[in-house]
Amino acid sequence: MSVPQHELFIDGRRVPSAPQDRFDAVNPYTGLPHASVPRATPAQVDAAVAAARSAFPAWRAMPPVRRADMIRALADLLEADGDRMGDLESTDNGKVVRETRAQMRFAARQYRYFANLSENLQGATIPLDDPSLVDMTHAEPLGVCVLITAWNSPMGLLSNKLAPALAAGNTVVIKPSEHASVTTLEFMNLVERAGFPPGVVNVVTGEADVGRALTDRDDIAKISFTGSPGVGAAIAAVAGANLVPLTLELGGKSPNIIFADADLDAALSGAFAGIFAATGQTCVAGSRLLVERSVYDEVCTALAERSRTIRLGDPTVVETEMGTCANRQQYDRVLGHIEAARKDGARLIAGGGPAEDLQPGLFVQPTIFADVTPDMQLAQEEVFGPVLAVMPFDDEQHAVRIANDTRYGLAAGVWTRSIDRALRMTRELRAGTVWVNTYRAVAVQAPFGGFGHSGHGRERGTVALQDYLTTKNVMIDIGGATRDPFALRT
């Protein structure tokens, strides 16, 4: 059976690939190929960077209102095509359409938000000690930005990067994960229809060698990467050697903390949203559930019972609540973590293996381990799957110690009716985002990023735009008096 053939997008056109330079995109629900994806050659990577460099002078010089119009047009096109694009992403990575369709709408909102910021880029005038000097700043784009996204939310993650990069006046080369490239390649049809000049947006696809060819170079101005800490560290090493700034959005082992005074029904829903939504394949997954000891048994029992009601099935069906692991490699990795938790002595209270009745789909049962201790692998390593580690705590200080006892620091949740406790906890938790009485809530205005092995830099919000700009200072002498050429002016 033939499948759609996608091509690279370089300098405003599709670049055909030879048969040996292609690979299959596999539907993780059916196990069958659903598209053919190109594998970029080193020469094609060079061509994409060259196209972006060539397009940069005209793009940066374009009036911001014209750039903003194109970005808004892209938002309109994506929103209009959101259901189809969501269905395609669910086919590509196994995430349920109730989430992927919502992510398309969120991405469109993000493009509109940054289009508005693009029209309002401003410098400043700075009063100096010497009144004969006038000082001002200009906010200027960096140049060619390399944007690398992960397989769990390709279009959502891309909007975190592409929207501020374009709004700031940069040109880009995008590399999506080889495990989920199809929607990014399809998105280029919308980029073309929105009227972006050739070379402003380019896409190359392929495995790790394409990523290395794209990042280990000194003719780019910025790298923004979302993915694993190991790959992030490798990119940081070459970026440092080439003096290229970067934003890293990496993994997490986020604590979701339930106090005894919480609204337990709401907290249980938040716990489920934190780990079983998106099949746990999200960097902010609340994979460690910390529960105050006085309600610990009650919460564990309720979690186990509710987990058995989750509807697994075809990700493209709206009624499905949890889809597949995105690829075979991740499926095997999740099952390996489950086996390790058994060996470490964690108490299995729900799930614990493949959903065999749904094979060949890459389904893992919603899995919950209780009595997990902080030293266990399940408490320290990111699983990136539907596996929850439940841990008891005695008081606030104990909860904070457990919560902060990882190398990660991406997100955290706190469930309590006490505003005093909530404020204390948000101050003590080492995480880039802390939710109180909610979880996995997002907004385009709210900055997102982490500490430690969760990366550095921020996406979304006005702070994200600053990461794609540099500041130029301009100083003008309006005094006209003769100065001592050998004296420092202050």
| Residues annotated catalytic, as ranges | 249, 283
Distances from the Cα of 236 to the Cα of 85, 229, 250, 277, angstroms:
32, 10, 12, 30
Distances from the Cα of 322 to the Cα of 30, 164, 325, 329, 383, angstroms:
15, 31, 10, 19, 16
Please classify residue 177 by burial: count the beta carbons closer than 10 Å to its beta carbon, then call 0-12 exposed, 13-18 middle and 19+ buried: buried
User: Tokens 């735009």 correspond to what residue?
Assistant: 465
Task: Assess contact for 240 and 218: CB atoms under 8 A.
Answer: no
Task: Assess contact for 423 and 274: CB atoms under 8 A.
Answer: no
Cα distance between residue 487 and residue 474, in whole Å: 20
Cα distance between residue 167 and residue 215, in whole Å: 22
Burial string for 100-128 (b: 16+ CB within 10 Å, else e) reads bbebbebbbbbbbbbbebbeebeeeeeee
Q: Per DSSP, which regions of 394-467 are E strands?
A: 408-409, 411-415, 433-436, 451-452, 455-456
Cα distance between residue 461 and residue 164, in whole Å: 9
Task: Assess contact for 176 and 203: CB atoms under 8 A.
Answer: yes
Cα distance between residue 447 and residue 433, in whole Å: 8
Cα distance between residue 265 and residue 268, in whole Å: 5
Distance of CA 398 to the CA centre of its chain: 30
Largest CA distance in the chain: 87
Please classify residue 195 by burial: count the beta carbons closer than 10 Å to its beta carbon, then call 0-12 exposed, 13-18 middle and 19+ buried: exposed
Task: Assess contact for 277 and 286: CB atoms under 8 A.
Answer: no
Cα distance between residue 366 and residue 459, in whole Å: 30
Task: Assess contact for 387 and 330: CB atoms under 8 A.
Answer: no
Q: Which two tokens stand for residue 313?
A: 């099935």
Parallel, antiparallel, or unpaired: how do β-strands 451-452 and 347-350 relate? unpaired
